[in-house]
Chains A and B, each alone.
Chain A
Amino acid sequence: MRKQLWAIALLTGLVLALAGCASSETPETIIKEVEVIREVPVETEVIKEVEVEKVVTKEVPVEVIKEIEVVKEIPAPKSFYESPLLAQRAQAGQIPPIQDRIPTEPMVIPAASQGTYGGTIRRVYFGPADIWNFGRISSERLLRWSQDASALVPALAKSWEASNEGRTWTFHLREGTRWSNGDPFTADDFVFHYEDVILDDEIAPIKPNRLKTVGGLGTVTKIDDYTVRYDFEDPYWVFPENIAQMDQFNGCCNQPYAPSSYMKQFHIKYNPNVEAEASAEGHESWQAYYLAMFDIRVNPLRPMLKPWIPTEDSRYGSSQVFTAVRNPYFYAVDQYGNQLPYVDRLQYTLVQDNDILQLKAIAGEIDFQGRHVNLSMFPLLKENEATGGYRMTIWPANTGAEIGIHFNQQWTGAEGDYFRNKDFRIALSHAINRDEINEISYLGQGVARQPAPAPSEPHYPGDQYAFEWTEYDPAKANEILDGILPNKDADGFRLMDNGERLHIIMDTTPGEGRDTDTMELIAADWEAVGVKTKVNEVTRTLLSERREAGEHMVYIWGSGIGDPALVPAPDWMGAPFPQTLLWYNSGGAQGIEPIPIVKELTDMRARTTQLPLEERIELGKEIAKKQLEQLWIIGVTGLSPSNQGVIITSDRLRNVPEIAANAWMFRTPSTGFPEQFWFSN
């Protein structure tokens, strides 16, 4: 997600700028007030004393940690069951018996109903870059989000806690967890990956952002075989949300661990011959060889902790049919003691075209898929539900606005004066017929709104911010515009003060529910109030190049996308102020110095990473309000299921929830817990 990219780039940029501010908080005062808070939770009716709470906001952190830690787990089953396929293999002595393959305290994924083992979930995929098509459904993480994404739930880690004011995080692993090849999964896997991979400048020239704070890279320590500790220079309260997203299965760094006993054979520290082996395999260096062998697209034999693992001869991206089968060592069971997953395998057919997906779905050849299913396919797919033997489900996304109209505030042309005029932007916001766009482009599934966070997010700033200036009122728009651009030319288009026609060029690229046709509707609405607008469709690469160089007048992109930190992403850094990130990154040497409000927002955003949850949410709300008030970005519609939220589910597939949180950060459909899906006959 672009927003996250910016967030990360920004964080690194701010390392220098904010080094001074970091220590401005005084820890002593907090300690004093801790006792006060302890008394509060005893009276269970705290909720009613809203005002009292607001006054005390600054001291809440200690309480909040407990809230994160207390995660209800269903009582663990006593005896365990397994797939008949695995039972056979265990009987034949090929794999150990079930109780030796799963942890002593396995993760318990509550199944909506008890199922039977077997079956294949058939999907389609588009090639190697579609890697998350597999990674999201067959996910492997220390922590993951609950179905409604309201809380993190323990996954590979059975519990975690913070100490030292959020500077130290300790994770407790499940004893007896094993990699897909049977190797034990222990703290050594974390230490190896940290010391021999992440700290190696050749393999990892860029250190993982999620392990960084203002003070630099955190450290990893093994406490015992099943306990790992992370230490940071600064309070890092969003670390659980961040480590829950360290689940890349390629590349060097965005994962907390690696299968150390397997990967050591590719590391020069443990295998002196690795250079020779690397060049024999056609790699330039042992590091390149290591990285290739770590990438499961290249090396499906690399041990994993996923519910489904690639078969030996499957190559993700180049195989016409990619197959992943159940991991005999998967660490989770359901409440009945059945080792998950229920479904035997995932099978992906490589296609080149969305129409094939549609055809396959109608023919009943897709069992569960939301990815690549466009909202525009919904009517046809819905119509053929009975013939194809499937049902359509909608999982709305938490995207604040699929269409965010970003005005370049740093545009140097004569148009720039108007783009910087908030009244001008208010007028153009009123000129858009959002309901029509929602009906035509989003089948009425979206919500006409500004790019505010989703109402389900704790940092939702309130309806007055989400819906301000969204009513369709061309008369009002004309009235405002008449005050700013009173003169019109013969064609009825408004003229700028220099006598030239105001001609807005709107850069856009199709994707994520942003069709160019929709932009034409917006352009028509604007032209109806006398503002000449041209929609300029470019390729995605060119779009981002133009944005980085500040060559866009108006730029179309999603905005208000959910963020794990529960604070708004710094959307102002991208298109509205394209030269500002460079200013921060270069320490003020290049780019354009941001205006005070941008500086303030940026500073507020940087502060959030160091705040515990509740304070962070409050600050997040403030940021959202401040940003939305500026209207640098006009929202059109949001909260539609257009990105991966239109889901085809086979009639035979059970336990698929009617709704589950849908966002990249949650790795949807992981929030639907596909491990507990099962096929009925």
Chain B
Amino acid sequence: MLTFVLRRLITFVPMMFLMSVVAFALIQAPPGDFLSDYVVQLQNQGEYADPGELESLRKQYGLGQPIYVQYAKWVWGILRWDFGRSLEMRVSVNDLINERLTLTIILGLFTVVFTWTLAIPIGIFSAVRQYSWIDYMFTFFSYLGVGTPNFLLALVIMWFVFAYFGLSITGLFSPDYVEAPWSLGKIIDMLKHIWVPMLILGTDGTARLTRIMRANLLDELNKPYVETARAKGLPEWQLIMRYPVRIAINPIVSTIGWTLPQLFSGSLIVATVMSLPTLGPLLLRALYTQDMFLAGSIILILTALTLIGTLVSDIVLALIDPRIRIGA
């Protein structure tokens, strides 16, 4: 077990390095650079960029230097936990990412917890009461959930809340708390807002997980060991929870690794539509404006989170399933 974890940790480093190169190269790939995009954004409003300003920007950010020099400087900074300076926002990437990363992880955790607490019991229930009217109802709703793009759901809910309650539910905080430092009030304020995006982001996952859970459990329920246990007189509910559910849940645990990145990309449009202060919109914007240090750093952090997530899911799997532990 320990060697397994260690081995995984060692492959971590070259993976990250590779990803940083790929990320940096990809961001450079489209024509133009940050400055040409900056000029374009000003032109979009019928304005124009002063040549002196552009020249001074080029100087401040060392954009005239060759790409590999820019890359080397960036990586050297990251080794000292300095992700560089956002070209567009003109502030340190660390400062920009910190709060948004926290909020992204909080929102992600809320969504995962919401998804699991809803999906697993429903899945179990549906499987055990297969073809009952409740199963049909859940099936109907889960197809609806999978079928509805969550950004559309976001728009519909936003419209609904606005039309009937006169509120615009965007963001994660009330205006008073947006720029305020963290406090108990701010946390409560966040809890008041976070359920809407949590609900929207969770719908799709809940529906999907319900289906997976149901299918997996159905596979297990007809197996001989279940029959045996039942024949031996084990109470039905205890039997299901103790044996088939533990096996059926394995594939779900193994998805932990990519839950976070999936929430990231899946939530991107929702977060944009709802103006959520998470990393997704920031990444989108950074890619759009070719803000390479910011975009590169976010991609790198995402990679790290995915790798960590996969590691965690492997460890959890090994813990809950003795067969895997022995196999390793």
Contacts and interface: CB of A to CB of B under 8 A. Distances in A.
A251 interface: yes
Nearest to B96: A318
Contacts of B88: 127-129, 317
A540 B43 contact: yes
Q: Interface centre among B62, B89, B178, by most A CB within 10 Å?
A: B89
Contact of B281 (A8, A288, A352, A644): A352
A207 B52 CA distance: 7
A251 B53 contact: yes
Contacts of A399: 46
A429 interface: no
A19 interface: no
Given A284-B62, A359-B158, A321 B46 contact: no
Contact of A292 (B44, B52, B90, B175): B90
Given A129-B41, A250-B53, A254-B53, A360 B91 contact: no
B289 interface: yes
Contacts of A5: 48
Nearest to A319: B179
Contacts of B273: 353, 355-356
Interface stretch (A198-206, A328-336, A631-639): A198-206
A1 B43 contact: yes
Interface in B86-100: 86, 88-92, 95-96
B53 A664 contact: no
Contacts of B289: 129
A151 to B, nearest CB: 22
A209 B166 CA distance: 51
A541 B51 contact: no
Contacts of A250: 53
A541 B52 contact: no
A67 interface: no
A319 B158 CA distance: 24
Interface string A103-145: 0000000000000000000000001111010000000000000
Interface string A196-236: 00000001111111000000000000000000000000000
A204 B50 CA distance: 12
A350 B175 CA distance: 11
Nearest to B85: A282
Interface in A268-308: 282-285, 287-288, 291-292, 295, 297-298
Interface residues of A, number: 72
Interface stretch (B1-9, B32-40, B186-194): B32-40
Q: Which of A1, A352, A356 has the most C-beta atoms of chain B within 10 angstroms of its own C-beta? A: A352
Contacts of B45: 130, 132, 371, 512, 643-644, 664
Contacts of B158: 359
A351 interface: yes
- Choose among A284, A285, A320, A353 the residue with the greatest number of B CB atoms under 10 Å from its CB: A320
Interface in B253-273: 272-273
Nearest to B43: A2
Contacts of B41: 129-130
A321 B167 contact: no
B55 interface: yes
Given A8-B51, A512-B44, A282 B92 contact: yes
A352 B273 CA distance: 8
Contacts of B85: 282
A288 B61 CA distance: 8
A645 to B, nearest CB: 10
A252 B52 contact: yes
B31 A254 contact: no
A462 interface: no
Interface in A310-325: 313-315, 317-321, 323
Interface string A17-30: 00000000000000
Contacts of B91: 298, 315, 318
Contacts of B55: 204-206, 252
A147 to B, nearest CB: 19
Contacts of A251: 50, 52-54, 56-57
Interface in B55-79: 55-57, 59-60, 62
A575 to B, nearest CB: 14
A532 B85 CA distance: 49
Contact of B175 (A2, A254, A321): A321
Nearest to A541: B32
A4 interface: yes
Contacts, number: 162
Nearest to A5: B48
Contacts of B82: 282
A559 interface: no
B164 to A, nearest CB: 13
A664 B47 contact: yes
B50 A253 contact: yes
A663 B179 CA distance: 33
Contacts of A541: 31-32, 36-37, 40
A545 interface: yes
A511 interface: yes
B168 interface: yes
B197 to A, nearest CB: 14
- Most chain A CB within 10 A, of B56, B60, B92, is at B56
Interface string B143-182: 0000000000000001000100011101100010011000
Contacts of A365: 168
B21 interface: no
B275 interface: yes
Nearest to A210: B50
A206 B59 CA distance: 12
B170 A359 contact: yes
B277 interface: yes
Contacts of A352: 272, 275, 281, 284-285
Given A129-B88, A320-B277, A541-B31, A664 B170 contact: no
Contacts of A2: 43, 48
A363 interface: yes
Contacts of B284: 352
A129 B48 CA distance: 11
A46 interface: no
B113 interface: no
Nearest to A663: B46
Contacts of A129: 38, 41-42, 88, 289
Given A352-B285, A545-B31, A315 B89 contact: yes
Contact of A1 (B46, B51, B96): B46
A360 B158 CA distance: 11
Contacts of B170: 351, 356, 359-360
B56 A252 contact: yes
A606 B158 CA distance: 55
B55 to A, nearest CB: 5
Given A206-B52, A318-B91, A541-B37, 17 more contacts: A130-B41, A251-B53, A251-B54, A284-B62, A291-B56, A292-B90, A319-B179, A353-B272, A356-B170, A359-B158, A359-B168, A360-B168, A539-B40, A542-B31, A545-B31, A545-B32, A561-B46
14 contacts: A2-B43, A8-B51, A251-B50, A251-B53, A282-B82, A291-B56, A291-B59, A291-B60, A314-B179, A353-B272, A353-B273, A363-B162, A363-B168, A512-B45
Pairs A-B, 6 closest by C-beta atoms: A251-B53, A253-B52, A129-B41, A541-B32, A540-B40, A254-B50
